[in-house]
Amino acid sequence: DQQVKQNSPSLSVQEGRISILNCDYTNSMFDYFLWYKKYPAEGPTFLISISSIKDKNEDGRFTVFLNKSAKHLSLHIVPSQPGDSAVYFCAASSLQGAQKLVFGQGTRLTINP
Protein backbone atom coordinates (compact mmCIF):
# COMPACT_ATOMS: atom_id res chain seq x y z
CA ASP A 1 0.00 0.00 0.00
CA GLN A 2 1.93 2.97 -1.34
CA GLN A 3 0.59 5.94 0.60
CA VAL A 4 2.88 8.44 -1.10
CA LYS A 5 3.50 8.13 -4.83
CA GLN A 6 5.81 9.85 -7.24
CA ASN A 7 4.67 8.53 -10.60
CA SER A 8 7.51 9.96 -12.67
CA PRO A 9 10.74 8.03 -12.09
CA SER A 10 12.70 10.60 -14.08
CA LEU A 11 12.47 14.11 -15.47
CA SER A 12 14.76 15.98 -17.83
CA VAL A 13 14.70 19.81 -17.98
CA GLN A 14 16.80 22.39 -19.76
CA GLU A 15 18.91 24.71 -17.66
CA GLY A 16 17.08 27.94 -16.87
CA ARG A 17 13.61 26.46 -17.34
CA ILE A 18 11.13 25.43 -14.67
CA SER A 19 11.26 21.94 -13.14
CA ILE A 20 7.98 20.59 -11.77
CA LEU A 21 8.02 17.46 -9.64
CA ASN A 22 4.77 15.87 -8.59
CA CYS A 23 3.63 13.78 -5.66
CA ASP A 24 0.30 12.20 -4.74
CA TYR A 25 -0.83 10.79 -1.41
CA THR A 26 -3.74 8.69 -0.26
CA ASN A 27 -3.84 9.10 3.52
CA SER A 28 -6.06 12.05 4.46
CA MET A 29 -4.48 12.12 7.93
CA PHE A 30 -1.20 13.45 6.54
CA ASP A 31 -0.84 17.06 7.61
CA TYR A 32 2.78 17.89 6.90
CA PHE A 33 4.72 17.42 3.69
CA LEU A 34 8.40 17.70 2.89
CA TRP A 35 10.72 17.56 -0.10
CA TYR A 36 14.21 16.14 0.13
CA LYS A 37 17.05 16.17 -2.39
CA LYS A 38 19.47 13.26 -2.58
CA TYR A 39 22.76 12.73 -4.38
CA PRO A 40 24.06 9.16 -4.93
CA ALA A 41 25.64 7.53 -1.88
CA GLU A 42 24.70 10.47 0.35
CA GLY A 43 21.96 11.14 2.84
CA PRO A 44 18.91 13.17 1.78
CA THR A 45 19.00 16.92 2.38
CA PHE A 46 15.86 18.77 3.44
CA LEU A 47 14.64 21.31 0.89
CA ILE A 48 11.27 22.70 1.81
CA SER A 49 8.12 21.77 3.67
CA ILE A 50 4.46 22.74 3.86
CA SER A 51 1.78 22.35 6.47
CA SER A 52 -1.72 21.29 5.47
CA ILE A 53 -3.08 24.67 6.62
CA LYS A 54 -1.24 26.31 3.71
CA ASP A 55 -1.43 25.82 -0.02
CA LYS A 56 1.90 27.35 -0.96
CA ASN A 57 5.33 27.81 0.55
CA GLU A 58 8.25 29.50 -1.14
CA ASP A 59 11.98 29.52 -0.41
CA GLY A 60 14.19 31.13 -3.01
CA ARG A 61 14.03 29.12 -6.23
CA PHE A 62 11.88 26.43 -4.61
CA THR A 63 8.10 26.57 -4.22
CA VAL A 64 5.85 23.82 -2.96
CA PHE A 65 2.15 23.78 -3.77
CA LEU A 66 -0.40 21.69 -1.90
CA ASN A 67 -3.85 20.77 -3.22
CA LYS A 68 -5.58 18.99 -0.34
CA SER A 69 -8.76 18.18 -2.22
CA ALA A 70 -6.74 16.38 -4.89
CA LYS A 71 -4.24 14.99 -2.36
CA HIS A 72 -1.47 16.32 -4.56
CA LEU A 73 1.63 18.38 -4.04
CA SER A 74 4.25 19.67 -6.39
CA LEU A 75 7.70 21.17 -6.17
CA HIS A 76 8.64 23.94 -8.59
CA ILE A 77 12.26 24.85 -9.17
CA VAL A 78 12.87 27.99 -11.16
CA PRO A 79 15.24 28.65 -12.75
CA SER A 80 16.68 25.13 -12.88
CA GLN A 81 20.44 24.85 -12.48
CA PRO A 82 22.86 21.98 -13.22
CA GLY A 83 23.44 21.50 -9.48
CA ASP A 84 19.77 20.66 -9.11
CA SER A 85 20.36 17.32 -10.83
CA ALA A 86 19.58 14.76 -8.12
CA VAL A 87 16.84 12.44 -6.90
CA TYR A 88 13.95 14.25 -5.21
CA PHE A 89 11.79 12.56 -2.61
CA CYS A 90 8.52 13.81 -1.27
CA ALA A 91 7.51 12.70 2.21
CA ALA A 92 4.45 13.03 4.40
CA SER A 93 3.73 12.74 8.08
CA SER A 94 0.94 13.10 10.60
CA LEU A 95 1.00 13.91 14.28
CA GLN A 96 -1.13 10.82 14.82
CA GLY A 97 1.57 8.80 13.09
CA ALA A 98 4.20 9.90 15.61
CA GLN A 99 5.76 12.12 12.95
CA LYS A 100 7.11 9.15 11.04
CA LEU A 101 7.90 10.12 7.48
CA VAL A 102 6.40 8.15 4.62
CA PHE A 103 8.45 8.58 1.46
CA GLY A 104 7.61 8.41 -2.20
CA GLN A 105 9.79 6.41 -4.59
CA GLY A 106 11.69 9.44 -5.79
CA THR A 107 12.08 11.29 -9.11
CA ARG A 108 15.48 11.62 -10.76
CA LEU A 109 15.83 15.16 -12.10
CA THR A 110 18.42 15.86 -14.78
CA ILE A 111 19.16 19.43 -15.76
CA ASN A 112 20.63 19.69 -19.25
CA PRO A 113 22.94 22.58 -20.19
The residues that touch another protein, with contacts defined as CB under 8 A, are 4, 6, 9, 31-32, 34, 36, 41-46, 49, 51, 89, 93, 95, 98-106
Asked if 48 and 34 count as a contact pair (C-beta separation under 8 A), the reply is yes
Which is closer to another protein, CB of 85 or CB of 106?
Answer: 106
Which CB sits closer to another protein, 70 or 95? 95
Per-residue 3-state assignment (H helix, E strand, C coil) for the chain: CCCEECCCCEEEEECCCCEEEEEEECCCCCCEEEEEEECCCCCCEEEEEEECCCCEEEECCEEEEEECCCCEEEEEECCCCHHHCEEEEEEEECHHHCCCCEECCCEEEEEEC
27 versus 105: smaller Cβ distance to another protein = 105
Nearest approach in angstroms of CB 77 to another protein is: 18
The least distance separating another protein from the CB of residue 94, rounded to whole angstroms, comes to 9
- Residue closer to another protein by CB (options 38, 76) is 38
| Smallest gap from residue 67 Cβ to another protein (A) | 19
Whole-number minimum distance, CB 17 to another protein, in Å? Answer: 26
